[in-house]
Amino acid sequence: STTPKSEFAFIKIRTVNHLVFDDQEGARTTCHLFFDTGNITDESSDTVALIGMSDVVSDVESDTCQMTCVIHNLNLAEKLQNMLQQRQTTHENLTKKYNNIMYDTTMGSHRPLPQLKPEHTLTVIVSHPHGCRKYVSFGNYTDREWVKGVWSQYNYTTPTCPGCSGALVFVLGHGKLLFDHAHVGNCVSNPSLNYSSYGVD
- pLDDT, residue 97, reads 83
Q: Does the pLDDT at position 76 exceed 70?
A: yes
Q: Average pLDDT for residues 79-95, to the nearest whole number? A: 90
Please state, as a whole number, how many other Cβ atoms lie within 10 Å of the Cβ of residue 113.
9
Phi–psi pair at 84, nearest 5 degrees: -65, -35
44-53, 74-83, 160-169: range with highest mean pLDDT: 74-83
Q: Does the pLDDT at position 116 exceed 50?
A: no
Domains of the chain, earliest start first = 9-81 (no CATH), 99-200 (2.40.10.10)
* Residues in a beta bridge with 122: 140
Residues found in the chain: 201
> CA-to-CA distance for 198 and 201, rounded, in angstroms?
10
pTM for the model stands at 0.81
Element (H, E) at 169: strand 168-171
Over its C-alpha atoms, the chain yields an Rg (Å, rounded) of 18
| Contact assessment for residue 70 and residue 9, using Cβ atoms and an 8 Å cutoff | yes
* E-state strands within 16-160: 30-33, 48-51, 54-59, 64-71, 103-104, 111-112, 122-127, 135-148, 151-156
Q: Does the pLDDT at position 176 exceed 70?
A: no
Q: What percent of the chain has pLDDT over 90?
A: 50
**Which of 55, 82, 51, 79 is closest to 67 using CA atoms?**
55
Q: Does the pLDDT at position 41 exceed 80?
A: no
> CA-to-CA distance for 183 and 141, rounded, in angstroms?
12
Measure the CA angle with vertex 80, ends 77 and 86; round to 5°. Answer: 145
- pLDDT, residue 50, reads 94
In one-letter notation, the amino acid at residue 153 is Q
